[in-house]
Amino acid sequence: MEITSEEITSQIEKAKNGKQGAFKFLMDHFWNEVYGFQLKRVRNEHEAEDITIETFAKAFDKIETFNESYNFSTWLITISKNIQIDRTRKKNASIYSNTTDTSNEQVQKIVDHSPTPEDRLIREQNLAELLRYIKLLKPHYQDVINLRYFHEMSYNEIAESLEEPLNNVKVRLLRARKLLAEIISQKQ
């Protein structure tokens, strides 16, 4: 099904109003474009994935500043490019640390209160079978799934445990749930 520019504009408006489903829609729709762009630049899957996660975290944090007269994918790519340039500068300067300038009020805009379809699918699985599926995920996705579902940690606790910015944890968990749900659906 072709997604129209009107649908994307509608989802951006919903995201500006804090609707969780809109954030998920935008991430699902634009993930491959941003990830592919970074993979070509950094030639490292893990780093490209980290930059993509950080891109969506930053974009969702600043969604209210997006100007609809521009293309959303161009905006995301620009954020992604700037993050990659900053990371390269930090590496070259031997100062590499994850920082974020988000306030708690802004971070709350992408909080997931209700179980998503992915959450329900994950909970319905037999535990042994679910653990086998989780092992198919990349290690950094396994970590957030384990901390969230088996250790029942909050987003803040996960962020502290992994020493990651809160927004990065939220986006990584959103992505991990989506990938795990895809694996479960394929195996059934």
Q: Are 186 and 155 in contact (CB under 8 A)?
A: no
Residue 114 — left, alpha, or beta (φ > 0 → left; ψ -120 to 50 → alpha)? beta
User: What pLDDT sits at residue 3?
Assistant: 87
- In a 3-state reduction of DSSP, which class is residue 44? coil
Domains of the chain: 5-92 (1.10.1740.10), 111-187 (1.10.10.10)
Q: Buried b vs exposed e over 67-86: b needs ≥16 C-beta within 10 Å? A: eeeeebeebbbebbbebbee
Contact 110/173 with Cβ under 8 angstroms? no
Average pLDDT over residues 17-44: 92
Is pLDDT of 105 > 70?
no
To which residue do tokens 């749930």 refer?
177
pTM over 0.85: no
> pLDDT band at residue 95, thresholds of 50, 70 and 90?
very low
What is the rounded average pLDDT of the residues 88-92?
A: 79
Q: Tokens at residue 57, please?
A: 């975290």
pLDDT tens per residue, range 117-175: 666 666 665 666 778 888 999 999 999 998 988 888 888 999 999 998 988 898 999 89
pLDDT of 111: 53
d(CA 145, CA 172): 9
Residue 134 φ/ψ, nearest 5 degrees: -60, -35
On the CB side of 91, CA atoms within 13 Å amount to 8
Structure tokens at 61: 């944090």
